[in-house]
Amino acid sequence: MNWLLVLAGGAVGAALRYLTDRAVQARHDSVFPWGTFTVNVVGSFVLGALTGVTSAQAQLLLATGLCGALTTWSTFSYETLKLYESGAKGYAAANVAASLAAGLAAVWLGTEAAGLLS
């Protein structure tokens, strides 16, 4: 039955990713993939915050399911490649650097927040 927890979390995470991406991207007049950047950073923070959760069921539902579907390595990779191929090499490099730095900072902040709350 664990797969049902992953499925439920994934369904919510995928919908949140789509809706967040569209809402964020609609507010930016730029080729930079702000929507994907946002979901990946938020997902990194949430995953970091979940480090304090000890329940195996909560980990499956929220960490594996929700965060797994909310964040997206493949879309990040594809959008970075498309930026590079279209000649926006600076944006491509910025996407890689900013995503890595912000994602690591977000997961660290999430773990710190979890530590403060426990």
Do the annotations mark residue 68 as ligand-binding?
A: yes
Do the annotations mark residue 10 as ligand-binding?
A: no
Query: What is the SS3 string spanning 12-74?
Result: HHHHHHHHHHHHHHHCCCCCCCHHHHHHHHHHHHHHHHHHHCCCHHHHHHHHHHHHHHHCCHH
Angstrom CA distances, 84 to 22, 112, 113, stand at 22, 35, 36
Q: What is the dihedral of CA 38, 42, 45, 49, to 10 degrees?
A: 180
Where is the binding site for Na(+), in residues? 68, 71
Q: Which residues does the annotation place in the binding site?
A: 68, 71
